Amino acid sequence: MQETPTRPWTSVLTECLQEYNSTTHSATQFSPEYLLTGKWPPIVPVELEVHRSLEEDRKEAFQNSQKQHKANKDRFDQHRRENDFRVGDLVYVERENKLNRNKLEPIRTGPHKILQRISGSIYELQIERSRRCKNFFHCNKLIPFSGAAGGDLVPSVGV
């Protein structure tokens, strides 16, 4: 059985970094190596190099990056829900670790009353017997209480 020769990981890492820095980035449409040093990657033949102004290319890369940033933000905002919680509303709180919990342990606690809006996304809740120093939660952890009776209610145990 023929074994392939092993190489130190540092030499492989150097090659990987060189390849990454020579590759055209999807957001800027330029390679990082060119934008940083002004030198085209060695994979482009000298005859095919287009002699352009590095400053203009950097401005264009910045504009391309800004366009990509806006597109990413718009895509993220499509699925974002506005938090319309008010002081006095009842909400559920998602438990901190969904993976490392017991099988029959609830995934959320509550309902809890909102005492105060601390900032645009942080709320203070009224939670009895809490192990936390402060009962502040990000809006992503809060789920509106629908008021449905039955098995939907979970006892208010400290989070």
- Give the torsion through C-alpha atoms of 7, 9, 15, 19, to 10 deg: 130
CA-to-CA distance for 105 and 93, rounded, in angstroms? 14
DSSP conformational letter for 82 = P
Q: What is the mean pLDDT of the chain?
A: 81
Q: Which residue has the tokens 């820095």?
A: 21
pTM here is 0.54
* Contact present, 89 and 83 (Cβ < 8 Å): no
State which amino acid sits at residue 38: G
Pair of tokens at residue 26? 């999807």
Query: Which pLDDT tens digit goes with each residue over 52-91?
Result: 788 999 999 999 999 999 999 999 888 877 778 889 999 9
Task: Quick: pLDDT tens for 87-143.
Answer: 999 999 888 776 766 777 788 888 999 998 988 889 999 887 656 567 898 888 898
Our CA angle for 122, 70, 21, nearest 5°, is: 110
Range name among 28-32, 138-142, 154-158 with the lowest pLDDT average: 154-158
CA 57 to centroid of chain Cα atoms: 29
